[in-house]
């Protein structure tokens, strides 16, 4: 069955540093991979989508890479800020079908 | 984009009772999804609800336990029936449409079953 692994341990970094989160998957060939942000008590919010034929996608301070050979995506937040503290979820999908989510990694950015 | 609201935001219910959760969208959408998120776990898809057709349930979820209605393109309900403490969770609805890839989520309903 499909399996998505995200680091279950919280990532603690200092403000201004680059945060790097990892998403690994097995038994799946996604057409695209998405990253969402979830704050406590709220629903996930879409951040970025990267397709299987794309290596890298950027949006402001965010960068996502997608390696379909390694079955891995890396999510980077540069110049991190305390406001970036949240749980980040990766999700895999094909077409307009359903998404499969990872458990998420909590990011804590200290001032 | 779409703005989604859910009612109730939270509830505490007794074992054996049922709760209906409402999901309202500010625009017409093709697909609505219902998820469950248990503490420390990922979002687990319960079912997909498209207007005019029966909901499609994921493995491990059945219509008798989680009946869903989708009367129009902006509204859906999920009922959690004959609840037990194991049903305590956050229930989220989300929406998607052809031409989109991302989903937009509601704020969730936090359910506690005693």
Q: What is the pLDDT of residues B68-112, one digit of tens each?
A: 999 999 999 999 999 999 999 999 999 987 767 788 999 999 999
For chain B, the residues whose C-beta falls within 8 A of a C-beta of chain A are 4, 31, 33, 40-45, 48, 58, 92, 94, 96-98, 100-108, 110
CATH for A31 = 2.60.40.10
Tokens 């050979």 label which residue?
A: A69
- Per-residue pLDDT of B21-56, as tens digits, reads 999 999 998 889 999 999 888 899 999 998 878 899
Q: Which residues pair with B77 in a beta bridge?
A: B22, B69
| Interface-testing mutation among B10, B43, B45, B58, with chain A (most A C-beta atoms within 10 A) | B43
Cβ-proximal residues to B99 (8 Å cutoff; 6+ apart), any chain: none
Q: For chain B, what is the largest distance between any 2 Cα atoms, rounded to a whole number of angstroms?
A: 42
Q: Which residues of B touch A98 (CB under 8 A)?
A: 33, 45, 48, 58
Q: Which domain holds residue B81?
A: 23-96
Restricting to A residues 4-33, those with a Cβ less than 8 Å away from any Cβ of B are: 4, 32
Cβ separation of B108 and A93 shorter than 8 Å? no
A46 and B33: CB-CB below 8 Å? no
Q: What CATH number is given to the structural domain containing B69? A: 2.60.40.10
Residue of chain B whose alpha carbon sits nearest to that of A95: B101
Of B31, B48, B107, the CB nearest to A42: B107
Residue A20 included in any domain: yes
Structural domain includes residue B68:
yes
Chain B positions touching A5 (Cβ under 8 A) are: none
Residue A4 near residue A24, CB atoms below 8 Å: yes
| Pairing assessment for the beta strands A105-110 and A11-14 based on DSSP bridges | parallel
Domain membership of residue A30 as a residue range: 16-94
- For chain B, how many structural domains are there in total? 1
Q: What percent of chain A has pLDDT over 90?
A: 80
Model confidence at A98, in pLDDT bands (50, 70, 90)?
A: confident
Domain count within chain A:
1
CB of B68 within 8 A of CB of B76? Answer: yes
| Residue B72 belongs to some domain of the structure | yes
Confidence of residue A97 (pLDDT cuts 50, 70, 90): low
Query: What tens digit of pLDDT does each residue of A28-65 get?
Result: 888 899 999 999 989 999 999 999 999 999 999 999 99
Which residue, among A43, A24, A30, A26, has the nearest Cα to A87 in the 3D structure? A43
């Amino acid at each position: 069955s499909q399996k998505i692994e995200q680091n279950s341990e919280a990532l603690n970094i200092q403000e201004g540093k680059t945060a790097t989160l990892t998403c690994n998957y097995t038994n799946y060939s996604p057409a695209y991979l998405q990253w969402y942000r979830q704050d406590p008590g709220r629903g996930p919010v879409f951040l970025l989508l990267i397709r299987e034929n794309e290596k890298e996608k950027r949006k402001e301070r965010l960068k996502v890479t997608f390696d379909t050979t390694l079955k891995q995506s890396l999510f980077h937040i540069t110049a991190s800020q305390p406001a970036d503290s949240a749980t980040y979820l990766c999700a895999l999908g094909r077409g307009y079908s359903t998404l499969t989510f990872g458990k998420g990694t909590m990011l804590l950015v200290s001032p | 984009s779409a703005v989604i609201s859910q009612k109730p935001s939270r509830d505490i219910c007794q074992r054996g009772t049922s709760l209906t959760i409402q999901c309202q969208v500010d625009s017409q959408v093709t697909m609505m999804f219902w998820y469950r998120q248990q503490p420390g776990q990922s979002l687990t898809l319960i079912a997909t609800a498209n207007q005019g057709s029966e909901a499609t349930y994921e493995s491990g979820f059945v219509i008798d336990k989680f009946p869903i209605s989708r009367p129009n393109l902006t509204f859906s309900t999920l009922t959690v029936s004959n609840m037990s403490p194991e049903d305590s969770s956050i229930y989220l609805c989300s929406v998607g449409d052809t031409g989109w890839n991302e989903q937009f989520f509601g704020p969730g309903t936090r359910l506690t079953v005693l």
